[in-house]
Structure 1
Amino acid sequence: MPKKSLNKPVSNKSFDEKLFRLLVAQVKDHAIFMIDPNGYILSWNEGAKHIKGYTENEIIGKHISVFYTPEDVQNNEPRKNLNLALKNGIHEVEGWRVRKDGAEFWANIVFTTLYNDEGHLTGFAKVTRDITDEKKISDRKTRLNAELEQQVIENTEKLVANENRFRQLIENSYDGISLMDENLKVIFRSKSSQRINGWTNTERDSLSIIDLAHPDDRELLKNLIEKILNNPGVPVIATYRSRHKQGHYIWIECVYTNMLSDVNINAIVCNFRDVTERKAKDEEIKKKTAQVESILESINEGFIALDKNLCYTYVNKRVCEMVNREPDELLGQYIWSLFPEAINTPTFNAYAKALKEQKHVHFEDYYEPLDLWHENDIYPSENGISIFTRDITERKKAEAEIEKSHAQLLEASATQAAILDALPPNIVLVNEKGKIIAVNESWKKFTLDNNLGVPQFGIGYNYLAIAETATGVDKPTNNKIARGLKDVIVGNKKEFTSEYECYISNKKVWYQVIIAPLADTNHKGAVILHIDITDRKIAEEALIQSEANLRSVFENTGLIIVLFDNDLNILSFNTNAKEKGRINFGKKLKIGASAFNYFPKERKAIIQQIVQKVHNCQETVCYETSYFINENIIWYEVRWICVVNKANESIGVILTLNDITDKKRSELERDRMTADLVQRNKDLEQFTYIVSHNLRAPVANIRGLSNLLNGFGAGDEADNAAALQGLSYSVNNLDKVIIDLNNILQIGKQVNDQIETISLSDLVEEIKSGIHEMIRKNKASITYNFEALDELYTVKVYMYSIFQNLVINSIKFKQPGVNPQIEISSAIVDKNIILRFKDNGKGIDLAKNTPHLFGLYKRFDTSVEGKGMGLFMVKLQTESLGGTVNVNSEVNKGTEFTLEFPMKLKKNKIVPDAKL
């Protein structure tokens, strides 16, 4: 059986284990130990060691099945015993058990169920007694009975003598013996039976076994009877309460054996004994256990019990409060694994000393992780150590505070005069009559520098009299100070302060006078401070002027300016920010509001990253952004600027927004014009190519034919007719080229006309209707999926032409023997409109034909009739709408054209971002 981990103790089991150790450690004739609800051993006593052969370290944590024979283990007897004890509260059984050395012994075992105060199962107490000798006697009795019965059979004459002898043995046995018939009616009782329960045979005849059982044990007894009757020849052990003749109940331990099938006995044999005294001892143990528990839980001190391995076996609630843990977190755990910070501390050393020297140890220590001072008394024993601990944190703090206060008093006493002298203000101490009783060095210097001519720097003189003679101080100021001094001395005011200006050596100087009462309960008086605040006043005036200048710039700039603190709460903003915030964003800026109230939620993470970068690097972050406001796009140049103090620490952030919409529009217009010029140049080159290439052949033919006509005579009618027919053909070709050129030139003009909302699905249906015969003839299949986007606000004639050219090309250039399949779909990707046309046609050799794929009159598959205008028109019209065309194709597998248009909103509708 594997050893169970001690890191998972059952709640409160360690408490019972500790108490059993304390109370039954020295009991040697009984194995008394505790097990958890699952049958794992929690404690061990000397009696258990003596009987079982295991030491405590060998057996703790093992399952009780190690004591059972292999047959009992196979029959799950350990679990059955626990279940019966759990069901009945107590379960007693006898049987063969196995010692450590493998030897078997006959044992009497009593299981007692244990619960905590909350009624939760904590485990079982198990008491085992080696009754092998008794078993041998019992077996010997059985053997003698058998021999006796044999002799009765063999010799009738000896039967009577042997029967008498047998009766004498039974009647003189200390245990009670009863024989019962199949109805459990007593047919024989030994003398000890009456001694045990007090009933005479006659009295007992009128009572059933159920009548005598305690009401709480009757159900148990009924089950016991059923088991006895159903298991002939098998001893059944039980312990229950039976009523004594005197009216009280006694505990009896019984062994029932169903011998009804034995013709020589034909009875149920019951051997029983009075175990009331033993039960009383068990109850006494429980009572003492409860008493110890009550004492340990009621004391104000913490109590800890550790085994020899320094694992917790018990903690009271006070300890749990001190370390802020539950009992289950401590019990069974190694103390230093739970509190590794205490290793090599006085606590660690004290525990080791107590275990090693086996003597009481008293100490105090501080545990920093819990900010806990604790005082401890350690009492060792052979099973471990017991610790009484007290939380002395408050006492230690009080002692430290007293020590600190004492040091502060000494320091204050030693430095009081030095403090006064070191302070820059002119300080005067006056008594309740206004006479100066002490001054500092600054005051002394002040009187000397200003030639006040006061002996002893004014000590012993009236302060107000000296103030009246001071030059440069007006009378109203002196009167005000005099009233303030009087109010403070008599207690009308706790403090008086005032600022005044005076002239010393024709120089304007500012002072702040502060008058406060003396901090002396025995004497009235005041402390008067004269603080030179000239520099502060000059700085304040300069600051006011600087702030006015900055405010002027702040309010008159064209920028939007907002000042935030480090948490991005608004501290200030200029008028421009106030107006633009209300007009452009529909929100009113408020002091103290968070910046994230004004930014879109999707930009919150980006703004946080920007501000973090500004704080960390103390650098300006600049970028451009745009907003749709009233269906117009507004562009801003944004700057985030870190605000630092003199210590170069970040104290806030400035946000500026500069409206660069006009600039961006100019840039976009410039880019558009540049793109138009490039495109016009390409168109001109293309047009030049068409004129030089496509018109040259028809014109040359016309000229040649004209010369021929001029050379023919009047009689050459056949030749004239042929020349005229050739001339007509060349003129028709010339007309087609001119019409194509006219259509191309109309592309740029039509783009600004006929803008309307179109349905892509309706557009496809119109095209299918228009080329219905072509679709039917070629067995073509056209499917579309416009769930992502079905409606566009654009030029319908362009879209119709683009869709129609791509659909017709897919049908024309189909694979031989394969029905054309065309799939059209829409999507929106990164604010772009995507239209895809996919077919299963011949495909295009892109490696060979890409340079000329969209060229005018460029045909790379001459097996199909055409002019080479379709793809040229698709590209031209797509680009006129601001889009691009991409193609992906593989020969004999198919082609996919992808049209991509930048998307924007106009009149709440999705439109390609073309020149509309």
Structure 2
Amino acid sequence: MRKLSEKVITGSFSLALLLLCGVGVASYQSLQQFQKDKQSLIHTYQVLATLDKVDDGLLAAESGRRAYILTGKADYLETYAADKQKVYQNLKALRLLTQDNANQQRRLDTLEPLSAKRFVSLDRSLSLYNQNKLDLATQIAITDQGREIRTQLLAIRQAMEAEEESLLQRRTILTDKSVNQFVVVMSIGYCLSFILLVIVYWLLQKQIHVNKTLSEEAMRLEQQAAKARLAKILESITDAFIALDRNWCYTYVNQKAGELLNHKPEELIGKNIWEEFPEGVGKEFYQAYHQAVEEQRMIELEQYYPSWEGWFESRIYPSEEGISVFFQDFTPRKLAEIALEQSERRYRSLVLATSQAVWITDAQGKVDKDIPLWRALTGQREAEVKGWGWLDRVHPRDWERTKHLWNLAVATQGIYQTEHRVQVQDGTYRYFLMRGVPVLNAEGQIVEWVGTHTDITERKLAEYTLEQANEALEIKVQQRTAELQRLNEYLKSSNQQLEQFAYVASHDLQEPLRAVTGYTQLLEVEYQDRFDDSAKKYMTEIVDGAKRMQHLIQDLLAYSRIGTRGKEFALTDCNAVLTQVLKNLQLAIAQSNAIITQDPLPNVLADKTQLLQLFQNLIGNAIKFRREEPPQIHIGVVRGTGGVEGENTPPSSPTLHTLSENEVLFWIRDNGIGIKPQYLERIFEIFRRLHTRREFPGTGIGLAVCKKIVERHGGSIWAESEPGVGTTFYFTLRVS
């Protein structure tokens, strides 16, 4: 019975195939005929369309000729010539289309000469018009001739159209017949095939039912074997694998997954994944698992898991029983991708920020790939850049040097760098820095060159402007130097004259004073008994005034010689200078019971004599302008870096924060009578006194001398004071 069924099924199926093949062959033949008839129809329509074009061309040519004669515009003459050419072209096309139709070819033999004759008539009218010989009689004759030719052309055209329409009608009937035959053959063939297929289907269903029972047992055994093989495969793969049922419970966990999940596989079987790992609820992979189940499609997922401190790639496969998940740790590869992406992003940002044109060439320097940035810069097309075409945009005067340096870099496999002018898209030349780096293979041979063109036009213009400015400045400096030399010579001569005048003036002024003092003292000695008290008082006033005048002249002479008679600066020990000052002032110190303290003082670059005078004037003033209590004087110093030399810190001063490393700040602090704030700026003026000579002796030049000494040494001097408390004098000097 089973063998009989198989024979019936095979025979029925074979017969159905034969019928289908026969139907297919018949359908193919009908389709071929249909295509042939279709082409015939298209051909007929093409002939009719070309006839219309010929007729339209003749009418257009006559209109162009008529418009030219009426207006005289050359544009209409050009239109006439173009329409004439189109007519001849369409006649030629019509000849080709009707070459299989003898009747149409004969009609064309008549149509073409008539068209040519018509154009000869039109050309003759245009020629006569151009020669101003086209009178009314000639126009009428040409028009009558054209109307006669037009009538003949129309008769031929109608005959050709009638021929084509007749052909179109016959071909349409044949096409409809072919279609009807095709439909009948297809209908009969498919009906018979359908009946046979229904019979085959019924027999197959019966056979399938018999085989299904036999195969179910075999399938069960195969599934058991497949599960065993699958488990072996899943344990041998490097990916972690888990299987979950519809209730999100583990049904399988391989050893790799157990290691990543930090659980033994057998401990997870049958347990709910979201109860075992509640921290995953709501996360991206939680949503991906549910999406795969709902949409029944495979989902790939890459995600960072903070609890495992790594990137994991998951592939989720849904099924009717649940889902299967393959996942693996790809942290090293992900970190490399992130680093590469950041590097590329930085590279792109660098290129955009610096407005560079990046290019790539082969080992010899020829462009074999598209360089869009270079094309955008220069306006060249891709074909123009190929090979050595990129050199066409380099300035002709820079071309040889550019090519020579390039060949040298290729030969030495070194970095290529040059500056040249490049013609950019707007046609102007701009300066560019061209830099290329060779890319080598494992054998050390150049594979390609990668480089950039950086616009340095602004820098070159700035360099040119700076060069021009430097040249102009050099000329001005030379002129100014010559002028300063002349002024310096003049000042030198003037200073010498002033110094000589000061010496002569001081000598001539002191001589009378010495005479006055001497004779006054002789009078006091010789005639002492004859003078009363008033006369003695007058004599004393005369001697004191002469001595003050002498001191004043000596101080003026010393003040004028600070800048002219000073010594060369040398490294001077301030401690030794201060020791000498205290020796010079020891009588005043002893008389006032002054207490003088000091910090360790540094070496400075100074004129030792003037430095001694500076300290002596300031300390002498501190002793002189004292209160009733013994004076307390302190000499301190601080370096420009902020380091204090002694134990005492300097009083607050804004200048302390502006000292350079090459400067030191000295201060001399006392507990004297102090100075009112409004006089602190005036005390350094020459002859400026704040007290009478009876209160405190002196000429009022001492602080002016101190200021001039400090300024000669490139420093500054100022004072801070509070009346009744004391005064602090500051001054700066250079260490080297």
* TM-based fold match above 0.5: no
Band the TM-score falls in, shorter-chain normalisation: 0.3 to 0.5
If each structure's strand is expressed as a fraction of its own residues, which one has the higher value? 1
Q: Please give the TM-score of this superposition, normalised by the length of structure 1.
A: 0.30
Between the two structures, name the one with larger relative contact order (CA 8 Å, sep ≥ 6).
Answer: 2
**Larger Rg, first or second structure (1 or 2):** 2
Q: Please give the TM-score of this superposition, normalised by the length of structure 2.
A: 0.36
